[in-house]
Structure 1
Amino acid sequence: MSAAQEPRGYRLLYRTVLRRIDAERAHHGAFALIRLAGRVPGLRSAVRARYAPPHPTLAVNALGMRLPGPFGLAAGFDKNAVGIRGLAQLGFDFVEIGTVTGQPQPGNPTPRLFRITADRALVNRMGFNNDGSAAVAARLAALGADRPPLGVNIGKTKAVPETDAIDDYVTSTERLARHADYLVVNVSSPNTPGLRDLQATERLRPLLTAVRAAADHSVTGRRVPLLVKIAPDLADEDLDRIADLAVELGLDGIIATNTTTARDGLRADSRAVAALGPGGLSGAPLKERSLAVLRRLYARVGDRVTLVGVGGVETADDVWERVLAGATLVQGYSGFIYGGPGWPRALHAGLARRLAASPHTTLADAVGADVRSSRP
C-alpha cells in the first residue's frame, strides 16, 4: 500500500469501525497495538522504516536537544509512560507524557472522551487520570537511555487543596525531573477544579520558582528545561503578563495552547454538543485561537523563550504556519486520532517540501518570520 493510499485506508477504517466504538475504548485498543510495536525489536524496526523515514533538513536544536524534526506528540495520549518507544517509531520527533500528578487518581467518571467528527474535534474531561508520579518515575527509570526525546507534563492532584498545590507539583518534580529532557507545568486543563486559577501571575510566579528550584536540586550535571502550558481562553493582557513572567524567571518555554472551554463556530448540532457535557475542546476548531496566542507570545518574547505551538494542527501547512508564527517546536494530538498512524510521516514530508520551497535555509531561520516581517 502506498503512502498516498494509506490515509484513505485509515479514513475508511475510521468511518466504518472506529467512530462506532466508544472513544476511550478505541484509544486503549489502538494504543495497545502501538505498545506492542514498541516492544518487539524486529517489528519496531519495520514500523520505523515505514512510518518514520528521515528528513535531514528538518533537524532542529531546541531545549538543549538535537531533534530529527520539530513535531512531537502532545501530552494526554500516553499519560503513564507505557508506550514511548512505540510512539517514537511512528515518527514523532519527541514525546510528551502525562499529565502526571503527585498522587495516583482515577480521573473523572466515564464516559469522558468524545469525538465531534463533523468538526474533527474531541471533547475530553479525563481529569488527569494517571498512576501518579512515583509509579511513572519508576517506569521511566526502567527505560533508561533507550527512549526518544521526552517531555514530562505535571499537574495538580485533584484531592490536594489549592493551598498545597505548590508542594504537590514539587513532589512530582523531585520524582520525575531526572528522567525528563524537559518538564512542563500544566496549569491550564479545564478538568481539574481551580487549576486554571494558577495561571494568574501572582500565583504562577511562586509555583514556577518552586518547581525550578526542585528540579535544580533533584538533578545534577544538567539543567532540565522548564516550560509552562497555558490555556487559549486567556485574555490578551494575561498572555502578555505570562510572557513577561517567563522572561523575568528565565523560563525555557511556553506551550500554547491547551484545550478550550469554548464551543463557538462548530458545525455539529449545538444540542448534540451540549449533551456531551463539560470538558476541553481540542482539534480543528482550536486552530485560529491557538495560532493567535502563539503570534502574540512571539511578538512579546521573540527568541528569548522557546515557544511550542499546539492546537488544531492537522496538516503540514498547519505546522509550517506555526513555525512562521514563532514556534520552534509543534505538537499534535487530535490530528493523530483522525489522521491515523501515517499522520506524522505525511506532516514531515509536507513540511520538508514547504521548507525547500521557501527562502529559508533551515527551520530555525523560518521561526517567527511572519511576525517579524509584519513589524513596523
Structure 2
Amino acid sequence: MGFVVAFVNPSHYGANMLYDLLKPLIYTLDAERAHRLAIRAAALAPGGAIPRVRPVTIAGLEFPNPVGLAAGLDKDGEAIDGLMGLGFGSVEIGSLTPRPQAGNSKPRLFRLVEDRAVVNRMGFNNGGIDAALERVAKAKRPGVLGINVGANKDSDDRVADYALGVAKVAPHADYVTINVSSPNTPGLRDLQSRPALDELLRAASAARQACAERGVPRTPLFLKVAPDLDRDGIAGVVGAAVDAGLDALIVGNTTISRPDTLRSSLAKEAGGLSGRPLAVLARAKLAEALEIADGALPVIAVGGIDSPEEALARLDAGAAMVQIYSALVFEGPGLVRRILNAL
C-alpha cells in the first residue's frame, strides 16, 4: 500500500520521502514487473484537478501546464486519470498499433541505476488500438490526452497502419502523435527520411481530414522523431512536417548511442537509452530543431529531464513544452509537482 500512496499521491505528506524509502525494495524487482505494478497503482488513484501553471496553447489546444508524461509508461491507457492526478498537464498513451502485439522477448527493460538511466527494447508491446479506446472512453480526463500511434512489426504496409491508427484515435484524442522514432521495431526509423516520411505524413493528414469531414473536430497531429538524427535529418523532418500541415514536433525518443560516461554493465544491452545520460544529446537536438523550424512548428522537448532546473532550461531555450518518463523511476512521482512549483 505504501508504494501505491507514494506513486499516485505525491501531494500526500511525505509521499516522495516514502517513495525514496521504498526504492531499494522496488529495485529488487525485475524492471518490467515494477513497471506493471506502477501502472496498477496509478490505476487505483482517483485523479483530480490539474494545476494551471503557465498554460500553453498548441494548434488551438490549451494545455493547463507545460509538463507532460511521455508515451511508453501507460501504453494501453490503463491509468489515465491517476497519472493526470500526479499534476501532468497532458498524458500521452501508447504507442498503440492497429493489432495487438506481444513485443520483443523478455527481459527487455533494464534500470541502469548508477547512471540514472533506462534501456528498453520493448518493441511496441500493446493490446491494440481498439482495446485502449474502450478505456479512453471511460476516463474522466481532467487534462489533455495524447494518443501515440505506431505500426505493427509484421505489417506489410506500415504507412497504412499509421493512417488507420490516426483514423481510429483522432475522434477520441486531444492530439495524436505519429511515432517513427522507436529503435525497437526493425526498419521503423527509416520512415524518418524523405520521401518515405512525406508519404506517411500525407496519409496521416488525409486520415485526419476524413475524420473532419465526418464532423470530428480537427485533431492536432504531432510527429515524434529520434535524437539520433543529424542536422540534415532534422531539417528533412521539419520540412516534411510543415509541408504536411502537422502541428508540433516532439524531439525526441530514446537513443541508440551510448555515452562514454555510462558505468552500468547493463549499458551494453540492446535497445534505446533514456534518462539522465540522454540530456546532453537531447538539448543539442532541441536547439537544432528550434533553429531549423524558426517558429514554423512548436517543438516539445523530451529526454533526460529529471529536475526542475532541467525542465526550466528546456523551456527557456524555446521548447513549447517538456515531457518526462524515465526520471520518475529515479526521482519519484513528486518530480512533477516540484517542476510545477519551480514554474
**Above 0.5 in TM-score?**
yes
Q: What percent identity do the matched residue pairs reach?
A: 41
Residue of structure 1 equivalent to 2:180: 187
Please tell me whether the aligned partners of residues 151 and 181 of structure 1 are also in contact (alpha carbons under 8 angstroms): yes
Say if 1:272 and 1:255 are closer, same or farther in 2 by CA, change over 3 A. Answer: closer
Do the aligned partners of residues 306 and 10 (structure 1) sit closer, same or farther apart at CA in structure 2, a change above 3 Å counting? same
Cα contact 2:72–2:93 (8 A) shared by 1: yes
Inter-partner Cα distance in structure 2 for 1:239 and 1:347: 28
CA distance in 2, matches of 1:102, 1:57: 35
CA contact under 8 A between 2:192 and 2:225: conserved in structure 1?
Answer: yes
Q: Give the SS at the match of 1:66.
A: strand
Task: Choose the corresponding residue for 2:326, options 309, 322, 334.
Answer: 334
- 1:13 corresponds in structure 2 to 22
2:30 to 22, 29, 32: 22
Question: 1:66/1:224 Cα in 2 relative to 1: closer, same or farther (>3 Å)?
Answer: same
Aligned twin of 2:267: 273
Q: State whether residues 262 and 277 of structure 2, in contact with CA within 8 Å, keep that contact through their aligned partners in structure 1.
A: no
Point out where structure 2 has 5 or more consecutive residues left out of the alignment.
1-9
- Report the equivalent of 2:196: 203
Query: 1:85 is paired with a residue of what secondary structure?
Result: helix
Give the drift of 1:324: 1.9
Indicate the residue corresponding to 2:152 in structure 1: 157
* Secondary structure of the structure 2 residue equivalent to 1:201: coil
Instruction: Go from structure 1 to structure 2 and tell me whether the alpha carbon gap of 1:2 and 1:160 turns closer, same or farther (over 3 Å shift).
Output: closer
Q: Alpha-carbon deviation of 1:302?
A: 2.5
- Judged with a 3 Å threshold, the aligned counterparts in structure 2 of structure 1 residues 117 and 222 are, in CA distance, closer, same or farther, namely same
- Tell me if structure 2 keeps the 8 A contact 1:189–1:259: yes
Could you state the TM-score of these two structures normalised by the residue count of structure 2?
0.92
The structure that is helix-richer by fraction is 1
Q: Structure 1 residues 204 and 2, CA, compared in 2 at 3 Å: closer, same or farther? A: closer
1:323 and 2:315 aligned: yes
1:11 is aligned with what amino acid? D
Per-residue Cα deviation, 1:90-113 (whole angstroms, up to 9, x for no partner): 111100000001110011111111
Residue number among 287, 301, 305 corresponding to 1:309 in the alignment? 301
The one-letter code matched in structure 2 to 1:301 is A
Residue equivalent to 2:286: 294
Aligned to 1:344: 336
Q: Which amino acid aligns with 2:109?
A: L
* Paired residue type of 1:78: D
Alpha-carbon shift at residue 33 of structure 1 (Å): 1.3
Contact 2:304–2:327, Cα closer than 8 Å, also in 1? yes
Q: Please, which of 55, 71, 75 is the counterpart of residue 75 of structure 1?
A: 71
Residue 92 (1) aligns with residue 100 (2): no
* Residue 141 (structure 1) shift: 2.9
Task: Please state how far the C-alpha of 1:223 moved relative to its aligned partner.
Answer: 1.2
Shift of 1:329: 1.1
Instruction: Name the counterpart of 2:208.
Output: 215
Closer, same or farther: CA 214–338 of 1 in aligned 2, 3 Å? same
> Could you say if the C-alpha distance between residues 217 and 337 of structure 1 is closer, same or farther in structure 2, counting changes exceeding 3 Å?
same
CA offsets per residue over residues 123-144 of structure 1, 9 Å max, x none? 001100001112222332343x
1:37 aligns to what SS in structure 2? coil
1:250-285: CA deviation from partner (whole Å, max 9, x where unpaired) = 22111001000111223314x5422xx211000001
Q: Partners of 1:3 and 1:343 in 2: how far apart?
A: 13
Q: Could you tell me whether the CA contact under 8 Å between 1:227 and 1:253 is conserved in 2? A: yes
Contact 1:60 1:69 in 2 (8 A): yes
Q: For residues 216 and 262 of structure 2, what CA distance do their matches in structure 1 show?
A: 52
Moved more, 3-12 or 177-186: 3-12
Q: Which residue of 2 aligns with 1:58?
A: 54
* Alpha-carbon distance in 1 for matches of 2:165, 2:80: 19
Alignment equivalent of 1:109, drawn from 93, 105, 111: 105
| Residue 333 of structure 1, CA deviation | 0.4
In the TM superposition, what is the alpha-carbon distance from 1:2 to its structure 2 partner?
A: 8.8
Q: Which amino acid aligns with 2:40?
A: A
- AA aligned to 2:190 is D
**CA distance in 1 between partners of 2:99 and 2:274 (Å):** 26
Letter in 2 for 1:132: G
Contact map agreement 1:84 1:147 (CA 8 A) in 2: no
CA RMSD of aligned residues (A): 1.9
Residues 180-238 of structure 1: per-residue CA shift (max 9 Å, x gap): 11111110100000000000121000101101110121242421111111011111111
CA distance in 2, matches of 1:265, 1:5: 36
Paired position in structure 1 for 2:222: 227
Corresponding residue pairs, total: 332
Question: Is 1:140 aligned to 2:139, yes or no?
Answer: no
In structure 1, the gaps of 5 or more residues are 39-43, 353-376
Q: Once superposed, which parts of structure 1, at least 4 consecutive aligned residues long, lie more than 6 Å away?
A: 1-4
Aligned to 2:7: none
Q: In the alignment, what sits opposite 1:251?
A: 246
Q: Which residue of 2 aligns with 1:33?
A: 41
AA aligned to 1:17 is: L
Structure 2 residue aligned with 1:365: none
Contact 2:39-2:78 at 8 Å conserved across structures:
no
* Aligned CA distance change for structure 1 residues 4 and 311 (closer, same or farther; 3 Å): farther
Alpha-carbon spacing, 1:249–1:170, altered in 2? closer, same or farther (3 Å): closer
Q: Cα distance, 1:340 vs. partner?
A: 1.5
TM-score normalised by L of structure 1 = 0.84
Q: Distance in 1 between matches of 2:36 and 2:261?
A: 27
Cα pair 1:92 1:344 within 8 Å, conserved: yes
| Alpha-carbon spacing, 1:302–1:4, altered in 2? closer, same or farther (3 Å) | farther
* Residues 63/335 of structure 1: CA separation in 2 closer, same or farther (3 Å cut): farther
Task: Determine if contact 1:228/1:253 at 8 Å carries over to the other structure.
Answer: yes
Task: Answer yes or no: is the 8 Å Cα contact 1:265–1:285 preserved in 2.
Answer: no
Whichever of the two has the greater Rg, that structure is 1
